[in-house]
Amino acid sequence: MADVDDLLTRFWSDLVGRVHGPLSFRFVLQPLMALIFATRDGIVDARQERAPYFWTIFTRPGERWDLLREGGKAVARVIALGVLMEVVYQLFIFHRIYAPQLIVIVLALAFLPYVVFRGPINRIAKAWMTRKVRS
């Protein structure tokens, strides 16, 4: 059990250490790029009168994988850039690659912001389009 505790402790301390270490700009760059893609796709969703992305993933199981695939394609470049930056960081700092940390960082910085913001942007765009039509 001590080995698992040591592993988890190192995992979390390594994750926290990334915030102030080299290449820390990726903590701004990756979510910003994901937000740009979420904005683009949220506006398209609003124009096509689609339900909010995140909500649809959880409430419509038949559409879930198609939506996740669509989102994955939309942020594939951001994810690829995130993987590249994380690999460079890990090789520079640890001199090896820790796959679980790589996955956690890339998903948290790239894909999660996309999934979270696409729906609200859809709602904002719908409200703005509706207000514009009424004027």
* DSSP structure class, residue 50: P
- pLDDT, tens digit (0-9, with 9 covering 90-100), for 34-75: 899 999 999 999 999 988 888 888 888 888 898 888 887 888
- Give the predicted TM-score (pTM) of the model: 0.75
Q: Which residues contact 98 (CB under 8 A, 6 or more apart)?
A: 11, 14, 90
**Mean pLDDT for all residues in the chain:** 84
Q: Nearest 5°: phi and psi at 99? A: -60, -45
